[in-house]
Structures are given as C-alpha cells and as structure tokens.
Amino acid sequence: MIKKANIKDIKKIHAMVNGAASRGEMLPRPLGELYDNLRDYFICEEGGDIIGTGAFHICWEDLAEIRSMIVAEPERKKGIGRLLVNACIDEARDYGISKIFLLTYQVGFFEKCGFKIADKRIFPQKIWSDCVKCHKFPECDEVAMILEEI
C-alpha cells in the first residue's frame, strides 16, 4: 500500500536510504533533512513494514524532483518502485507541475518509467541548492533524467 509517510516512519526511511547509500545505490540523506522534508515522502507498507520509499520534492514553479527512491532488496521486481514513481507523478499533476527530474544510478528502471537522460546543467535550481553541498560536487557520477509534459 502506497501512502504518505508520517513522523514515525522517518527513522525507518533513514535506515533504508542510508543502507542503499552504503551499497552505492544512492547518496545518503542526513536524518535532519528527512525530518525537514517529511511531507515529500511516500512509503510502501506491507504488514507494518516499510518495503519501499521515495520523495517528491518541488524545486521551482514547473519543476520537481524524485529523491531517495528505494525498494527493499527482497521486494524488488514486484512493481513497488513503479507504484512509488506513479505516486510522485500523480502528485506532480495535482500541483500542476509539468516536469520531474531525478539523479540516479538506476537508469534502466527510470527509462522504463518514461524518463529520458538529460544534461545536469539544465537544472540550475538543483545544482545551486543541493549539489553544491554534496561531497561528490562537482564530480557527480549520477545520471540526470527528466520526464516532461506530465
């Protein structure tokens, strides 16, 4: 079941995201940042356990980002990631946002969801708000992708 995260979910989301980061699947997120952005997060819950999470973060009037998308290893390839992406796309539509981007190491998955590879330089709002704080800046090895005309 996909639903918005609540305060009791943050530490579990933190463990999932940073566990994936330790395996090189994504960048880590500090606990404080997750609390600050609680309203952005969706979770997939099954039997009281969080088995997937992802965030929809508004960046600009016509641009949002999908962040921290992860599905627990034993639950992968069951469509949960796609459900989380669809929840983010639905929220973009609800807000009237026409473009969603993301930075990822999982290019194939997001291509299947309709995203196309893009040049990072077309997202100056992201670069100057978040990327400059990242330990990988300016040598980022994530791939930028975009979904337009939602």
Topology of 2-148 in CATH?
Answer: Aminopeptidase (3.40.630)
**Regions of the chain where pLDDT drops below 50:** 128, 131-132
* pLDDT for res 99: 95
- DSSP one-letter string for 38-97: GGGEEEEEETTEEEEEEEEEEEETTEEEEEEEEE-GGGTTSSHHHHHHHHHHHHHHHHT-
* pLDDT for res 27: 80
The string over 94-120, giving b where at least 16 C-beta atoms fall within 10 Å of a residue's C-beta and e elsewhere, is eeebebbbbbbebeebbeebebeebeb
Domain locations in the chain as residue ranges: 2-148
* pLDDT for res 128: 47
* pLDDT for res 126: 56
Tokens encoding 61: 């009037």
* pLDDT for res 150: 79
* pLDDT for res 75: 94
* pLDDT for res 19: 95
